[in-house]
Chain A
Amino acid sequence: AQSVTQLDSHVSVSEGTPVLLRCNYSSSYSPSLFWYVQHPNKGLQLLLKYTSAATLVKGINGFEAEFKKSETSFHLTKPSAHMSDAAEYFCVVSDGWGGKLIFGQGTELSVKP
């Protein structure tokens, strides 16, 4: 069965400093992995996705993630945080051919001025 574990429930950074949100996955085959963002009282927006092409995936708003099979990780990074990055971030794995998404518990990112 597929699953994802987000290692931090809350991360706080200062504006202009790097962001690292950690995610480990479990999958019996080559997974499709995603990061979604949810701003307060908003829907979910896709940041980036990995589907077995390049292991370093670039997304929107300067975010990127690296797929590391040996570590079963898919951490999300951004070189410099902006106040508008404050939101909830979800690491997600897709369940095989049907495409249903399995969400991690989420990491709340706070950005201090």
Chain B
Amino acid sequence: DSGVTQTPKHLITATGQRVTLRCSPRSGDLSVYWYQQSLDQGLQFLIQYYNGEERAKGNILERFSAQQFPDLHSELNLSSLELGDSALYFCASSVEGTAAYEQYFGPGTRLTVT
């Protein structure tokens, strides 16, 4: 158990809908990262937050947004869902948002868009 929690574990929804994925980082970790794992794209970085502020953006679609709240939990919002958004979404946290600190991954949320 990494100490990072993600809810829900599974999510099945229809095209065009909007969903919210939630992540609670390890106690004391200030940085949260979101990654997407799909069969065709592999594991890709989406976005990083550090202590409530956006720090880095990757290949995140405009239909996707995220935020980190004062209690440091984070939410990833996916809207106007398409079939291709079906993937495993991981959250990771680290003490600080630099390469020197390892990232601990949550169990992931499996999103299925039908």
Contact = CB atoms under 8 A, between A and B. Distances in A.
Interface of A: 32, 34, 36, 42-46, 49, 51, 90, 94-106
A103 B100 contact: no
Considering the complex of A and B, which 5 residue pairs feature the smallest CB-CB distances, nearest first?
A: A94-B99, A103-B43, A44-B105, A32-B99, A98-B56
B23 to A, nearest CB: 12
B105 A99 contact: no
A34 B102 contact: yes
Given A43-B2, A43-B108, A99-B98, A106 B103 contact: no
B58 A100 contact: yes
A104 B92 CA distance: 17
Interface residues on B, range: 20 to 34
B106 interface: yes
A3 to B, nearest CB: 12
A10 to B, nearest CB: 15
B99 A96 contact: yes
Chain A interface, >50% SS class: strand
Given A100-B48, A100-B56, A43 B97 contact: no
A99 B90 contact: no
Nearest to A33: B99
Given A99-B48, A99-B94, A51 B99 contact: yes
Nearest to B100: A51
A18 B40 CA distance: 30
8 contacts: A34-B102, A42-B107, A43-B106, A49-B102, A98-B56, A99-B31, A101-B45, A102-B45
A38 to B, nearest CB: 9
Interface string B52-92: 00011010000000000000000000000000000000101
A42 B108 CA distance: 8
A100 B46 CA distance: 9
